[in-house]
């Protein structure tokens, strides 16, 4: 299984979303898009804190999309 190399989970205000792993290689001022369609500055994918991980619930839309990918 190489699934852990294809996407990353990142907390955003509201919930924790999955992004393609390639989004981590974007320039900080580029827009990264989660699997459920939320766009954020790529820089924000690198600024998550441990507190964010604890308080934000997993995005069910991202989860479903990843679960149904083959
Ligand atoms: Zn999501």
Task: Tell me how far apart the 2 most distant CA atoms of the chain are, in Å.
Answer: 32
Run of H or E including 55: helix 50-55
Is the C-alpha dihedral spanning 68, 66, 32, 11 positive or negative? positive
Cα 34 to averaged position of ligand 1 atoms, centre (Å): 6
Give the tens place of pLDDT for each residue, 3-62: 556 898 888 888 999 999 999 888 989 999 999 999 999 998 888 677 666 778 999 999
Cα 36 to averaged position of ligand 1 atoms, centre (Å): 4
Query: What local confidence, expressed as pLDDT, does residue 26 receive?
Result: 87
Cα 49 to averaged position of ligand 1 atoms, centre (Å): 18
Kindly provide the residue ranges of all beta strands, DSSP E only, lying in the chain, ordered along the sequence.
7-12, 15-20, 31-33, 39-41
Cα 16 to averaged position of ligand 1 atoms, centre (Å): 7
pTM of the predicted structure, to 2 decimals: 0.80
């Amino acid at each position: 299984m190489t699934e852990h190399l294809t996407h990353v989970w990142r907390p955003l205000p509201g919930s924790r979303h999955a992004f393609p792993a390639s989004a981590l290689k974007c320039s900080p001022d580029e827009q990264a898009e989660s699997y459920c369609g939320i766009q954020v500055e790529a820089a924000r994918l690198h600024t998550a804190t441990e507190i964010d991980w604890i308080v934000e619930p997993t995005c069910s839309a991202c989860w479903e999309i990843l679960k149904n990918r083959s």
